[in-house]
Structure 1
Amino acid sequence: MKPYAKIDSSQMPIVTVSFTGEKSTDENFQLYLDEVESCYDDRKTIAIIFDASKATIPKLSHQKKQASWLNQHWKLMQNYCLGTAYVIPSTAIRAVLKMIFSFQNQPVPYKIVSKMEEAHDWIQELNKDNKEAKSL
């Protein structure tokens, strides 16, 4: 089975999820969701960058499954995810994300950008704002 996405947690607390360009199957999509969930195992604050530069459009059933995953993990994300940045240069993939969010809203701050550098800058700014808010 070829992976739908690869998870890189080597830069914790920033996790990068890179979509591989493989088509979604029931197996590889479930593995992707399970791996994202495992990023929360330590119950420490993280930020996630979803790099959809190579993403293919997932099946509608997988879009709904992603929305369901967001709903099921709402509190987990609210408690431990500072925010999510989506690197999406493709207008078609941006439309898919909007469709997923129409099924289920995003529980944490997010930003859609075109380049990885923009995602990192936004995460850094979000982290800075979060630290300032906690010191008040």
Structure 2
Amino acid sequence: MKPCAIIDESDFPLVYIRFTGNSSTDENFPSYLEKTKACYRHQQPLSIIFDATEATLPSLSHQKMQAQWLKENEELMKEFCRGTAYVIPQAAIRAVLKMIFSFQKQPVPYQIFKTAEEAKSWVSSL
């Protein structure tokens, strides 16, 4: 199973999630959601950068799964996530994010950036 995202916690409390360009599937997408939740196991404040530069368009069912994940983990995020930066240079992927947030709003501060440098600068200011 090729992952749709790689999660890097080596600079914790900064978590870097990079979409690989591999399509999300019914196998790899739940794994991605589980690994994202695992970032909260430390129960310490953290910030997340989602780099969707290489992301592919997820199916509507995966968008809904992401929205459900946000709903189920809302309190966890509110308690520990300082903010989420999204690196999304492509308009189509930004539209997908807006669609997900129309199903379930993002419970923590977030910003959308075109470059990783801008995202890193923003999360370091939190």
TM over 0.5: yes
Q: Following TM superposition, by how much is the alpha carbon of 1:91 offset from its aligned partner in structure 2, in angstroms?
A: 0.2
In the alignment, residue 109 of structure 1 is paired with which amino acid? P
Q: Following TM superposition, by how much is the alpha carbon of 1:92 offset from its aligned partner in structure 2, in angstroms?
A: 0.2
Q: Following TM superposition, by how much is the alpha carbon of 1:42 offset from its aligned partner in structure 2, in angstroms?
A: 1.0
SS in 1 for 2:42: coil
Q: Distance in 2 between matches of 1:38 and 1:68?
A: 16
In the alignment, residue 11 of structure 2 is paired with which amino acid? Q
Q: Distance in 1 between matches of 2:44 and 2:26?
A: 29
Q: Following TM superposition, by how much is the alpha carbon of 1:125 offset from its aligned partner in structure 2, in angstroms?
A: 1.3
CA RMSD of aligned residues (A): 0.4
Consecutive unaligned residues of structure 2, counting only runs of 5 or more, are none
2:56 is the counterpart of 1:51:
no
2:8 is the counterpart of 1:8:
yes
Q: Distance in 1 between matches of 2:109 and 2:84?
A: 7
Match of 2:100 in 1: 100
Q: Distance in 1 between matches of 2:3 and 2:23?
A: 9
- Residues 68-79 of structure 1 correspond to what in structure 2 (within 5 A)? 68-79=68-79
Q: Following TM superposition, by how much is the alpha carbon of 1:106 offset from its aligned partner in structure 2, in angstroms?
A: 0.3
- Residues 1-136 of structure 1 correspond to what in structure 2 (within 5 A)? 1-126=1-126
Q: Distance in 2 between matches of 1:43 and 1:11?
A: 16
Q: Flag as ranges the 4+ runs of structure 1 deviating above 4 A.
A: none
Match of 1:132 in 2: none
Q: Distance in 2 between matches of 1:73 and 1:20?
A: 24
Greater radius of gyration (CA): 1
Q: Distance in 1 between matches of 2:47 and 2:27?
A: 25
Q: Distance in 2 between matches of 1:24 and 1:37?
A: 17
